[in-house]
Amino acid sequence: MVNLGDEFPNFKADTTIGPIQFHEWMGDSWAILFSHPADFTPVCTTELSRVASLVPQFEERGVKVIALSCDSVESHQKWIDDIKSYGKHTCEDFPFPIIADEGRTLAVQLGMLDPSEKDKDGLPLTCRAVFILGPDKRLRLSMLYPATTGRNFDEILRAVDSLQLTDNKKVATPADWKSGGDCMVLPTVKESEVASAFPKGFSVLTVPSGKKYLRVTPQP
């Protein structure tokens, strides 16, 4: 199990682009590892197709993506043909690698098994995990969805935008924030420092407690 802020394991794995050592594969990029219950399953096929469409948007943000499923590289390669056909992707090479975790070693190490979903042999499948890692290889955000609920990849892009913004600016992003929207000034910024730290201006919302903690500023 990896907690937020922990260094992500530097595992070795077989993938559709050959063997990788995870940290070397990441290089200096951000990375997203997302797992799937199994190859040739409907929701997973829609998810991998969606990510293939979004690769340019991940690249714009300096993020490399990699998928994982508990089947072999040979199985993944055949499945990729279906994913490309489903999504009408015309690329020759699939735009991101898929890890083969046939022995479920990574699924166990990363706490991704979903006991409620079993394969034909009764073995638990991986849930839909998402791990977003910073260039320092530390876990910045994780999500766990059950096999029956496909993920919203716009939300994952939105989360990357928030992580990258809040790394550099003294703001946090509120509920349903989208890139370009108003932000909240961090509680750690002293009242006397807000005006100089946020030259675009800020407003303090009035609340019954009288506390001045709802400080809104345009996205820096």
Enclosing H/E stretch for 220: none
Give whichever of 30 and 101 is closer to ligand BEZ, judged by the CB atom.
101
With binding defined as CB under 6 A, does residue 44 bind ligand BEZ?
yes
Residue type, 137: K
Per the listing, tokens 């907690």 go with 3
Catalogue the active-site residues.
Answer: 44, 136
Task: Check binding of 41 to ligand BEZ (CB under 6 A).
Answer: yes
Residue closer to ligand BEZ by CB (options 125, 183) is 125
Tokens for 70, please give them: 């508990």
Q: Which of 5, 27, 42, 56 binds ligand BEZ (CB under 6 A)?
A: 42
Does residue 37 bind ligand BEZ (CB under 6 A)? Answer: yes
Q: Are 65 and 171 in contact (CB under 8 A)?
A: no
Question: What residue type is assigned to position 9 of the chain?
Answer: P
In the complex, minimum distance from the CB of residue 82 to ligand BEZ, in angstroms, rounded to a whole number: 12
Determine the straight-line distance between the first and last CA of the chain, rounded to whole angstroms. Answer: 35
For 64, residues 6+ apart whose C-beta sits below 8 A from its C-beta are: 25, 26, 27, 29, 30, 31, 32, 58, 96
Q: Is 86 in the site for ligand BEZ (CB under 6 A)?
A: no
Task: Give the Cα separation of 204 and 215 in Å (integer).
Answer: 4
75 is an interface residue for ligand BEZ by CB under 6 A: no
Instruction: Examine residue 147 and tell whether it contacts ligand BEZ (CB under 6 A).
Output: yes
The answer to whether 113 contacts ligand BEZ (rule: CB under 6 A) is no
The residues binding ligand BEZ (CB under 6 A) are: 37-38, 41-44, 117, 125, 147-148
